[in-house]
Amino acid sequence: MINLKARETRTLVAVHGWAGAVLGLLLYAVIVTGTAAVFANEIKAWSGGLIGMNEPLSQPLNAVLARLEAETPEQFRGDLALRATPAGNVLAFFHTDETINGVRRERGILYTIGPDGRVISRAEGYGNELAANDPYTALGRFYVDLHVRLHVPNPWGLILTGILGLAMLVAAVSGILMHRHLFRDIFILRGRDRLVGLRDLHSVAGTWTLPHAFVLAFTGAYLSFTIAVALPMLAKIAFKGDVREMVTTLNGLRAVDARPAAIADLDDMLSDARKRAGAPLLIAGWENRGRADSRITIFPAPRSGDLTAMRLIYNGATGELIRERPIIGMKPSLGASLLGLISPVHFGNFAGWWSRAVWFALGAASAYVAWSGLNLWVRRRADQRGWRALGRVTAWVGGGLPFAMAAAAAAYFVSLPSLATVFWTPAAFLAAAALALVPALRMRSIERVPPLLFGATGVLLMALPLLRAAAGGPTWRAALATGQGAVPIMDFLVALGGIACVVSAAMALRPREQATFNAGSYVQSAE
């Protein structure tokens, strides 16, 4: 039992409520999209249709890369980035660095290499723009961008989600501090038709998900603020603007030696890295090919049972391993271990499907906590016109966001054959959000709006596996034959989610004795 004085408890209740009232809807959007983004790689593999192979960076690549290099203009051959896609193909990006308006950008030719060295696509341009225009990963990227920065341009989007992370931290900590009977009340549910019932559900769900919410808020604030603000600030102050010294401290000293040198055997290095890592390889970055100071940095996945993996650095001229190093610094350290924990704990990818499933479930519960908290706030003020308007907006966002996300997925599959997914995925999201506004504005009983939209979401979700098949997506047999279990599993999970949405909507919409929004009785029962 936590026993604060009445005045401090009132302050915490006010901060808990106002933080939710002001930022709750954005927080709800970030949590819902983050819950979907737990399966971002699986969504990309499932939706892309380009079925590849298990561990694509373990296949022989020398021959195909030599052929592609010959087709690549001389100016882009210096650096090469290789990345295993979630669908099991390899992205090979021959590029050079260019500085535009003081910002370093990578420009070159991006090839997508399928199984057996087959080249699936070729595109020229800047790396970030090529990634943003990839039609096969548009759905997964749309969800991730919505979660990471709410599609607000950088750095403001990251700062906004960082503030939302801090708001979630405040809500979690104040929720603990102001709760007088934390452990007793987590089992109390007094029916769902009254305001006290809603408060109980909010309280119970909030308490059970508290450790997870705290960790996500902490790591989310770190991820947003570090990239947008903290690291650039520390680089300027701690290293007095000396970028070379910062890179040397964080990544190791690079001696410049531009003399021509042989190019090492990539397949041998990747094979050696695979054995040392004991896990699939994810990324390989090769700098200064054909020079004496050539280096290859290989990023493996963590070994089974580990949270982080060491990076392997090879000499790109001789093929010898130079060193293994952690996420930052040259040697394992407490600081590197702490920073290495952030990603697996935030993304829930430390134990495969199981940890992601748990993270998904806890994320969904956290989304309910944010939404039910807003509903509580609004219902207690339902006699005031302004708060009633927020109630309608809450109903719109609460039910409309999942509906718009499902509509975006449907539009993605419909537009995949024409490769117009980059346009239609966000366009359908906005159109569906606008459509969801109609019942939110027009329906007399706003309590019926979210279930209605959840029902529509369920119908769309159930249709997605069929749309995927109609768009020419791989069959379960073809996917399983190449070790891509994400396709059948995602089909099953999406359909299951759709059924759950329809059933819960039907239960919520069935006639009850008192299901209308009646402010007076709610306020009385809450008091």
Residues that bind other proteins (CB under 8 A): 5, 7-8, 11-12, 15, 165-166, 169-170, 173, 217-218, 221-222, 225-226, 229-231, 233-234, 237-238, 240, 249-250, 326, 328-336, 338-339, 342
The helix or strand, by DSSP H or E, that contains position 297, with its residue range, turns out to be strand 295-300
Distance in Å, CB of 170 to other proteins, minimum: 7
- Rounded to whole angstroms, the Cα distance separating 491 from 142 reads 19
5/510 with CB nearer other proteins: 5
- Vertex 51 angle, CA 45 and 56, to 5°: 85
Distance in Å, CB of 210 to other proteins, minimum: 15
Contact between residue 326 and residue 303 where contact means Cβ atoms under 8 Å apart = no
96/249 with CB nearer other proteins: 249
Task: Find residue 92's DSSP bridge partners.
Answer: 82, 111
- Rounded to whole angstroms, the Cα distance separating 228 from 240 reads 18
- Rounded to whole angstroms, the Cα distance separating 298 from 521 reads 63
| Per-residue H/E/C for 57-89 | HHCCCHHHHHHHHHHCCHHHCCEEEEEECCCCC
- Rounded to whole angstroms, the Cα distance separating 294 from 314 reads 9
Return phi, psi of residue 106, to 5°. -105, 125
Give the ranges where 416-485 is alpha helix by DSSP (H).
Answer: 421-442, 449-470, 476-481
Distance in Å, CB of 302 to other proteins, minimum: 19
Distance in Å, CB of 164 to other proteins, minimum: 12
Contact between residue 237 and residue 245 where contact means Cβ atoms under 8 Å apart = no
Distance in Å, CB of 166 to other proteins, minimum: 6
12/446 with CB nearer other proteins: 12
Distance in Å, CB of 331 to other proteins, minimum: 5
Structure tokens at 289: 């090919």
Distance in Å, CB of 248 to other proteins, minimum: 10
Distance in Å, CB of 399 to other proteins, minimum: 31
313/382 with CB nearer other proteins: 313
Return phi, psi of residue 123, to 5°. -150, 145
Distance in Å, CB of 333 to other proteins, minimum: 3
Give the count of alpha carbons within 13 A of 113, CB side only: 26
Distance in Å, CB of 279 to other proteins, minimum: 22
Q: How far is CA 113 from the centre of its chain?
A: 25
Structure tokens at 279: 């896990």
Map residue 109 onto helix, strand or coil. Answer: strand
Task: Find residue 190's DSSP bridge partners.
Answer: none
Structure tokens at 361: 């479930």
Contact between residue 234 and residue 225 where contact means Cβ atoms under 8 Å apart = no
80/345 with CB nearer other proteins: 345
241: left (phi over 0), alpha (psi -120 to 50) or beta: left
229/357 with CB nearer other proteins: 229
5/444 with CB nearer other proteins: 5
114/165 with CB nearer other proteins: 165
Hunting for tokens 């979210």 — which residue is that?
Answer: 450
165/391 with CB nearer other proteins: 165
Distance in Å, CB of 287 to other proteins, minimum: 21
Distance in Å, CB of 332 to other proteins, minimum: 6
Structure tokens at 285: 């970055």
- Cβ neighbours of 318 (radius 10 Å): 14
Contact between residue 37 and residue 369 where contact means Cβ atoms under 8 Å apart = no
Return phi, psi of residue 299, to 5°. -110, 105
46/225 with CB nearer other proteins: 225
182/250 with CB nearer other proteins: 250
182/235 with CB nearer other proteins: 235
